[in-house]
Amino acid sequence: MIKANPMVAAMAPYALPDLSVPDGLEAIVLAQNEHAFPPSKKVQQAVIAAIATGQLYPDDNWTKLRAAISAVHGLNVNNIVCGAGSMELMSSLMLAYLSPGDRMLMTEYGYLFMRTLAKLVGASVDVAAETDYRVDVNRVLQSLQPQTRLVFVVNPGNPSGTVIHNDEIRRLRAALPEDVLLLVDEAYAEFVDAGFHEPIFDLAESGYTIITRTFSKIYGLAGARVGWGYFPSEVREQLRKVLNPSSVSSLSQAAASAAMADQSHALEASRAIAQQRDFLSAAINDLGLKVLPSQTNFILVDFVTPQQAGSAFEFLRQHRLVVRPMLGYGLPACLRITIGTAEQMQLTAATLAGWRQQPHD
Ligand SMILES: Cc1ncc(COP(=O)(O)O)c(C=O)c1O
């Protein structure tokens, strides 16, 4: 047998999530935090137009896309970097900045993929407990080690769906040593209630803070694989050395530029999703189950025991609804449900009510 990188060989096998339902049924997948609606006609047309020059490599400077992002968020185009999903940007950041012996600090329910990446580069991972499924800045600060090079925070959180106020992120940044990188994963930021808090992009202009966002969620382009981040100039320089310059295809760049330019479509989608989220949360609360307050396109439901969560998961699956178990996050009593269309949410609420009526231990 040929020898793999020992870090990789020691990892558990990659497990594809099981999204299957009984034979003959068409699955409704509410397990991936994908968008409830397909891309707009404008986005679809932009992709069709872009294939006309498909013989060329994509623009490795993402010129149009960065201009579209900058126009919406009022950012310096030079500090925007795009990648094949925000995941690629996070991987490249870790490659560029973490070495064996370094430590990364993340929070209890932070994005699991980051742990895998840290291990791959030989760094150790410290985990700060959350309080009520929320990032707790005091605990993050208490968990810092002298070797901590990178602090990773997801806001709003996944799988919690909870959000902390950006003033807390600012407090965290101010209390961290200046040369510790702070990576704030804002994959779900566009779902946060309007007026809840101001953006934190300025932190990337004044110190070692990186903010990543994605087109996979609010913009409904998970299949196109486009993410972007706002980077301090010095960090951008290092990152570009290890980032695949052609990873965002010309079709994906066209799709993302068109989606970014159509803010009213995104806003409408976000409102529709919030309405369905509130409907489903209330319906599940009415069944006597706890739902964490979410400002994202998914909710986390606490079924009290792992047995109850398992039973609800199976019942939903028998009714073609596939949701996400949370064992990997150490939350075996919880299920995460992506917010879908009104029809899908009514079906989910009715099916869970049917499950609740069954005799339970
Ligand atoms: C918290 C969080 N960060 C990052 C990502 C990755 O997003 P992308 O599709 O941009 O790689 C996800 C995807 O589900 C996510 O939930």
Q: What is the pLDDT of residues 252-285, one digit of tens each?
A: 999 999 999 999 999 999 999 999 999 999 999 9
Q: Does the pLDDT at position 5 exceed 90?
A: no
Average pLDDT over residues 66-88: 98
Q: Does the pLDDT at position 10 exceed 90?
A: no
**By CB neighbour count within 10 A (0-12 exposed, 13-18 middle, 19+ buried), where does 233 fall?**
exposed
| Nearest Cα residue to atom 12 of ligand 1 | 187
> Residue 112: what pLDDT?
85
Q: Maximum Cα–Cα distance for the chain, whole Å? A: 62
Q: Does the pLDDT at position 361 exceed 70?
A: no
Q: Does the pLDDT at position 17 exceed 90?
A: no
Q: Which two structure tokens, joined as six digits, stand for 189?
A: 């930021």
Q: Indicate whether residue 252 lines ligand 1 (CB < 6 A).
A: no
* Nearest atom in ligand 1 to 215's CA: 10
Q: Indicate whether residue 148 lines ligand 1 (CB < 6 A).
A: no
Report the chain's mean pLDDT, rounded to a whole number.
95
Which mutation among 106, 190, 216, 247 tests ligand 1's pocket best, with the greatest number of atoms within 8 A of CB?
A: 216
Dist. CA 291–CA 285, nearest whole Å: 7
> Residue 33: what pLDDT?
96
Dist. CA 348–CA 290, nearest whole Å: 16
Average pLDDT over residues 54-80: 98
Q: How confident is the model at residue 107 (pLDDT cuts 50, 70, 90)?
A: very high
Q: Which of 17-21, 180-184, 288-292 has the lowest mean pLDDT?
A: 17-21
Is 352 or 121 the better-scoring residue by pLDDT? 352
- The partner residues of 334 in beta bridges, in order of sequence, read 302
Which mutation among 82, 108, 164, 217 tests ligand 1's pocket best, with the greatest number of atoms within 8 A of CB?
A: 217
Q: Does the pLDDT at position 14 exceed 90?
A: no
Dist. CA 158–CA 294, nearest whole Å: 10
Q: How confident is the model at residue 12 (pLDDT cuts 50, 70, 90)?
A: confident
Q: Does the pLDDT at position 8 exceed 90?
A: no
- The partner residues of 259 in beta bridges, in order of sequence, read none
Q: Indicate whether residue 257 lines ligand 1 (CB < 6 A).
A: no
Q: Does the pLDDT at position 359 exceed 80?
A: no
What is the CB-side half-sphere exposure of residue 345 using CA atoms within 13 A? 22
> Residue 71: what pLDDT?
98
Dist. CA 259–CA 270, nearest whole Å: 13
